[in-house]
Structure 1
Amino acid sequence: MKESLRYKICLSLVWVQLALIPIVYLMMWAVDGTPYIWRWNLLAWAILTGYLIGFIALPLSRGLDKPKLLKWWLRIDFVATILLFIPFYFTFMASKANFVSERGKYVLFTTGGGMAMPALRFGKSDGLFIKELYNSDAAAFDICTEVWIVNEDYGYSSLKIWNDHYKSIHVFPIDSSTYRQHNNIIDKQIDSIFHANIIGYDKMKFVMPDDFSTIEYCDSTSIEYHSPDFIQLADIKYWSYKTGNFLDSVLITLSVSKNDILPITAQDTLLVERVETERQIKLPKDSVPWMSPTEAHRFINDLKRRYGL
């Protein structure tokens, strides 16, 4: 019986599953805390393979003459596979990317599912990995059409996404040094995209080439200014959600984030505490028109310098 083909297949599956345990762990460790994911969903398929073996190995071995250790291993593995279905599902969904489109070595893909927030991501293939260059958590999985451009000469990509309920535009760097080097051209391109699509979009996000801050438009209600690490530093509100009307005057909130280092004990242990300082300014609405990204960027930086923020 031990020389039968079915026994050899069953034993091989057990060894494959045992080998996959450290392999999956090392694959997860390799990308943990990095902007990389495994290309071709290698991690997700490795997890799925190990899990499916737990389901099929015991039924496949039924009726075979097996060593006692193998018999108990197959039983325990089968029960554990059933009990771990929910953790497996969420781990698999979190590790699996859904590829939308490719432009040469550049890839547009979505992640999320289960309890993970859906996100649209843009990355660049790098051997066995894809390096994430940009992401937007505003995307939904039912994107019906996507239009995107990759311009390697100027180091940027522009992306339009929409479905039945949501439209957004994104312009961001794919090569930081090239993007900044051509900042005058990028500024003009950003303003051109803004003016060509000023109506009908729920959100527009533009990464500015001189300091990599982000100007974000939410409908026609507000303009937000974010630092390169996406901390909100300014907010220009034209609309009141409480009244459902445009404000009589434009409300501008400027904020600065500082890290204060505070001692906790007599030892050298330190606590870094983020302190937010805000200043609100009201200006006549006629003096603050709906601005293009470069105009908003210049306007907010001028205000921050004026108020010492």
Structure 2
Amino acid sequence: MSTWKTIEVHEFIKVDKVEKYLGAEIIIDPRIQWLEKDKSYLQYLLYNFKVLIIKNQNLNDKELKKLASNFGDFFTTNKANPTLGSVDNSSPVVIVGNKADEFELSYLGNQEVLPHSDHQWLEKPSSVSLLYALDIHNGAAPTIWYDMEKIYDALPTDIKNKINPLKILTYNPFFRPFGSVSAKYVDRYLDVPQGETYDHPLVRTHPFTDRKSLYLHKAYEMEFIGLSVKEGKQLMKFLHKHIEELPFKYVHQWKNNDIVIWDNRSTIHYRPTFNENIRRVLKRISIAGEKPF
């Protein structure tokens, strides 16, 4: 049971604007010392609003890592379970960029990035991630977040009863050619993707708020444990349609020096494709998480 406590005001962190369906814009006073009470308040805001937007920042990597560390230890992985940026584990900072030629390694280019929660195929997926916009040119794609807690709450009772006990297996897309994987229900009689798999609840409970959310992506190869392929495909199709029909989203149009922090436990996010000649460069840091329950 969570021991999470509500904190209503803070001297150095101000909620400036609450978005209609998901997220809040906050202002952090540069005098903040990041004491334990400061970290707790920032976590409280994130786990309740799920997406935090901080504008007009000018941070070096040390400062960016300091901000991210308020949510826990940095996410790391190994060669047996590859992820975006796992080629080089020397820094938690990963460049997500198109036309980012000044960086030795950058990822994702201009391709569509389907709705997902970061690292869902791992035993312990990341709990929190952030993006920091370095250089965003006109026409670059936005990022869209979905509130999977509200999306779960909006399901009919009979569907909730059906999916509450179900487990989901997500297959690691990095064992496939880059950019070739999309949402697909796995038929083990035809093809079993490579890589170790870990079963997670389709409906997960947040460790700090005790609230439930639909822990489902629209990006990778997957299956539901205990369902036939026919049943699984039908359920996946129904849930994907349900996700897209609801308005519980936040669309962020990036500007230079924006930071967006999000809770991977209760949101998924999406980026549409954009023109390959448009420069879009951001830094990403992810935070280690627990095994979903």
Q: TM-score, length-normalised on structure 2?
A: 0.22
The structure richer in helix per residue is 1
- Higher relative contact order by CA 8 Å / sep ≥ 6: 1 or 2? 2
The structure richer in strand per residue is 1
